[in-house]
Amino acid sequence: MILRAPATFAIALAILGGAIWAAMNWTYSSQITNLQSRLSLRDDQIADYKTKLGGATPDEAKKRLDALELQVKALSPRRLTEGQKAKIVQSLKGSSGIIEIVQDMGAPDAKAYTGDLALVFQAAGWVVSLPAALGLGNPPPSGVGLMVANPAAMQPIELATKRALEAAGIAFDIQQQNRPQRPTLPPIVPALPPQPNVGLLITTKLN
C-alpha cells in the first residue's frame, strides 16, 4: 500500500505527527502555565507574609509572638495554676510550720494570689496567718518577698518555703525580717497567737 501510494502515506504520516506534536505541546503548555500560576501564587503569599511581619523571618516572628505572650502574661492577674499548687504541696511534704502571708492592700491582684498561697500551704498542713499591710517601704521587685530572719543563715523551715516556691517556678526575693522577742506573760494573761516561722509578702510586681 505504501509503494502504491507513497505521497498519500507521507501526507497521512505528516498529519498524524503534527497532531501528536500539537497534543503534546498543548499538554506541556498547560502544565507550564499551571506551574507558573502556582509559583506566582506562592510568591504573592510570601510577599503578603513578609508585609504582615514587617520583613521578619519565621524565627524573628516567633520571638515577637513569644515576647507578646510574656507581656500579656505579665499584665494578667497572678494566680496559682493547679500544677503549681501540686508542686508546692509535694515540696512541702514532710515539713510543717507557721507561715505569715502578708497582703499588700495597694496591689490589685494581691488578695487572690495571697488566697491561693494560703490554701496551698494549709493543704500541706501548715498554719497560716493573713495580715494586711499598706505603704510598704521596701517592696520586693518580683512582687513576692520571702521574709526570713537571716538570709545568710536560713532556718530549715525557711529553706523549705524557698524550695517550694522554686518548685512551682514562682519568682521571689529574699528579704530580712526582724522578729522581736515576745515578752513572757503572766499565767492569767491569754496566750498570744503562735509566732510565724517564716513570712511571705505579696505586693505589686515591679519587673
Q: Cβ distance 160 to 144 under 8 Å? A: no
| Domain coverage including residue 62 | 6-75
One domain for residues 58 and 98:
no
The pTM score is 0.60
Single-letter residue type at 115: G
Last residue of a domain, one of 38, 53, 75: 75
Q: Where are the alpha helices (DSSP H) in 92-206?
A: 110-123, 156-167
Number of domains comprising the chain: 2
Using the predicted structure, report yes or no on whether residue 108 has a pLDDT greater than 50: yes
Does residue 1 form part of some domain? no
Report DSSP state, residue 143: S
pLDDT band, very low/low/confident/very high, at 53 (cuts 50, 70, 90): low
Does residue 59 form part of some domain? yes
One domain for residues 116 and 56:
no
C-alpha cell read off for 193: 497567737
Which residue did the predictor score with more confidence, 79 or 65? 79
One domain for residues 95 and 154:
yes
DSSP line for 7-50: HHHHHHHHHHHHHHHHHHHHHHHHHHHHHHHHHHHHHHHHHHHH
- Residues contacting residue 106 through CB under 8 Å, at least 6 positions apart: 134, 135, 136, 203, 204
One domain for residues 194 and 168:
yes
pLDDT in tens, 5-29: 666 656 666 676 666 656 555 555 6
Which residue did the predictor score with more confidence, 73 or 33? 33
Last residue of a domain, one of 31, 47, 75: 75
Task: Give the pLDDT of residue 162.
Answer: 96
One domain for residues 179 and 136:
yes
One domain for residues 17 and 89:
no
For residue 5, what are the CA distances in angstroms to 8, 10, 18, 54?
5, 9, 20, 73
Neighbours of 35 (CB within 10 A): 10
Hunting for cell 505521497 — which residue is that?
7
Task: Give the pLDDT of residue 32.
Answer: 63
CA gyration radius, the chain: 38
